[in-house]
A and B are shown apart, each in its own frame.
Chain A
Amino acid sequence: MDFLNTFRIALRALARNKMRSSLTMLGIVIGVGAVIAVVSIGQGAQYLVQQGIQSMGTNAVFIAAGSGRPGGARMGFWAVKSLTLEDLAAILREVPLIRQAAPAVISRGQVVYQNQNWNTSILGTAPNYFDIRSWAVQSGTAFTQEEVDYAANVCVLGTTVANMLFPGESPIGKTVRIGNLPFRVVGVLESKGQSVMGDDQDDRIFAPYSTVQKKISGITWIQFINASAVTPEASVAAVRPITALLRERHHIRAGEDDDFFVRTQSEVADLANQTQSVMTLLLGSIASVSLLVGGIGIMNIMLVSVTERTREIGVRMAVGATEGDVQSQFLIEAVTLSMMGGLAGIIAGLAGSALISSLLNWPTMISLKAIIIAAIFSGAVGIFFGYYPARKAAQLDPIEALRYE
């Protein structure tokens, strides 16, 4: 008996119990739909992260003080005083892969304008920081090198800070107080949104590093360096020479830990991707549990069907159906159920992710791989859960099957 025939018989048997067949399929529909929706949402998130990383500049190299362990105690980020402006100058001088670099010192404080105030972080840096981060000034200007040189009390606001302190008002030219110091606002940056790590990059004030070092933090060292390599590949290649240079400058002996660390944007990207993949995998496997449940539903209904159709099986065997014929009939029925459920699930998943995309304004990336895997998986569910009922049908004794009431 050929496959097409068996398939036709299976389809007809399923069509006879439309309600039951569709309810049985529902489990698979939900399972496959959930897998596809979850994966496309996950991939959308990954895409967002990638975009965020792109926006930070793929050439970026980040050097931070810290992670050293003077006297055995591991100090945190920025807690070490080892990184200096001289280090920065040395890197620019001796590592040609690095095109530019900006120092950074960070502080926190209450920012006040008239009756508005806001607690935010103050980043002291150089004007080329905005270049390195490819961050444009939306209105006004960035501060200048000159202002850095004489530690002027000027600042550039992130949009969140600007909105908090100057609702419905232009901040340019206005004076805000940070602690007890008055700062003139020279510019407002474009909105950058959330960082890869999820914090609001616009909730920050930027001032000349010299000003922050001397007037706010009272330090002479710097906390990190935002550098930019000549190409994305160069950013990775620059890690070794920078490490070697800084170790030498900081007199770190072989075998001792670094008192700084170097990260490139591509490392961050890899890390973020990895996190996202784990999340997607996790959500996907939760969704696939419902595929499993759907499969059990199919097995259940197929077992009922075999019992109900015992006589039919007896008749088929009497007129010449072999065990194999009966087995493939029921197996194909189960696979047809699960594959049709899979197909409906794919459609439901696509519709679901389109809906999420439009309602939540969240980009969803339809994954062809997820669709193919879902289709194969639903077929496999049919085979796996259809095998036992089909085997049971095939092993019926025709004499007893014919007598079955």
Chain B
Amino acid sequence: MEEQQAQSGEGGAWAVIRLEEVAKTYDLGEVQVHALRGVSLEIGRGEFVAIMGASGSGKSTLMNILGCLDKPTRGRYFLDGVDVSGMSKAELARIRNRKLGFVFQQFNLLSRTSALENVELPTVYAGIAPEERTRRAREALARVGLAEREGHYPSQLSGGQQQRVAIARALVNKPQIVLADEPTGNLDSRTSVEIMDILQRLNEEQGLTVVIVTHEADIAHYAKRAIEFRDGRIRRDRPIEERLIAREVLPTLPAPEGPEAEKPEAGAAPAKDAAPVAPRA
């Protein structure tokens, strides 16, 4: 992964994501739902973009298209310089496998499957040899600070830890872009900041392009650029001023409770899904 190839919003030819007049219409028989009405967008390598908007604004549809899970009805989508809008399902699966990493709100780890094996999953479909798979999965787990938990099942991990396993899974095939759909939606505020810390570090230190979808303004403040959607169109596209750095925010938050409390980089943040939401910075 190239270090510090970070580019600004006007990535031009270097744009890792380029959308040209992308539209998506769902034909529901009697009515046609225009989820996206011609979106043009460029995201450069090393950017950290927050996509915002109310539900129904088209942000989820955009995310599905960016993630090659869905195809645009009109317009073109260039991923890493390659037009993927006309690709077959199998080709898209390959793109998802090699170039994209997904992080979901619901974590979406396979139950009764160890953390290590969950992280290995994308390498299985990449046709990587077993020993190499394990090595890469261990490396990815170490990067999210969960090296010692590789044998744990999702049910034995806190929400924050599960999301970190999911991030490790997103990283294991060394993707160009990590797409995170409401990654903190199911987490308490402190854990949310910890997750944002990991994403910021990956973005800063490895130059990984990160795109997150969120409807929470404070989470968007950890990104470098915010794109707001409304009614299937881009309403506002602006750089984040007064960007929050998770590393600096964490010490100001109430310390995690419980015997497992330790520094987030080293591992466990106890499950506190039910904790009262602390004001976010």
Interface residues of A (CB under 8 A from B): 1-2, 5, 9, 12, 16, 311-312, 314-325, 398-399, 402
Contacts and interface: CB of A to CB of B under 8 A. Distances in A.
Nearest to A323: B89
B175 to A, nearest CB: 10
Given A1-B124, A12-B113, A325-B93, 4 more contacts: A16-B112, A315-B108, A319-B122, A322-B93
B29 interface: no
A399 B108 CA distance: 13
Contact of B121 (A2, A315, A323, A399): A315
Nearest to B60: A399
B96 A318 contact: yes
A121 B35 CA distance: 97
A319 B121 contact: yes
Given A1-B127, A398-B69, A399-B69, A320 B108 contact: no
B97 interface: yes
A323 B90 contact: yes
Question: Of residues A1, A312, A323, A398, which shows the largest number of chain B Cβ atoms within 10 Å of its Cβ?
Answer: A398
Given A312-B110, A314-B108, A319 B69 contact: no
B1 to A, nearest CB: 18
A319 B102 contact: yes
A318 B102 contact: yes
User: Chain A's interface: helix, strand, loop or mixed, by majority?
Assistant: helix
A315 B109 CA distance: 8
B45 interface: no
Nearest to B64: A399
B69 A318 contact: yes
A170 B104 CA distance: 96
Contacts of B126: 320
Given A16-B112, A398-B69, A319 B125 contact: yes
B127 A2 contact: yes
A319 B169 contact: yes
B98 interface: yes
A152 to B, nearest CB: 90
B70 interface: yes
B38 interface: no
A320 B69 contact: no
Contacts of B110: 312, 315
B108 A402 contact: yes
B94 interface: yes
19 contacts: A2-B127, A315-B108, A317-B96, A318-B96, A318-B108, A319-B96, A319-B97, A319-B102, A320-B94, A320-B97, A320-B98, A321-B93, A322-B89, A322-B90, A323-B89, A323-B93, A325-B93, A325-B125, A402-B104
Contacts of B173: 320
Contacts of B124: 1, 5, 9
Contacts of A325: 93, 125
A311 B108 contact: yes
Closest A-B pairs by Cβ, 7 of them: A320-B97, A320-B125, A319-B122, A322-B93, A322-B90, A315-B108, A318-B102
Nearest to B89: A323
Interface in B111-143: 112-113, 121-122, 124-127
Contacts of B108: 311, 314-315, 318, 402
Interface in B75-101: 89-90, 93-94, 96-98
B199 to A, nearest CB: 18
Contacts of B96: 317-320
B67 interface: yes
Nearest to B102: A318
Given A311-B108, A314-B108, A320-B97, A1 B64 contact: no
Given A314-B108, A318-B69, A398-B69, A1 B125 contact: yes
A1 B98 CA distance: 14
Nearest to B96: A320
Interface in B236-279: none
Contacts of A317: 69, 93, 96
Contacts of A5: 124
Nearest to B166: A315
A319 B94 CA distance: 9
A324 B104 CA distance: 24
A100 to B, nearest CB: 77
A325 B102 CA distance: 19
Contacts of A321: 93, 125
A320 B112 contact: no
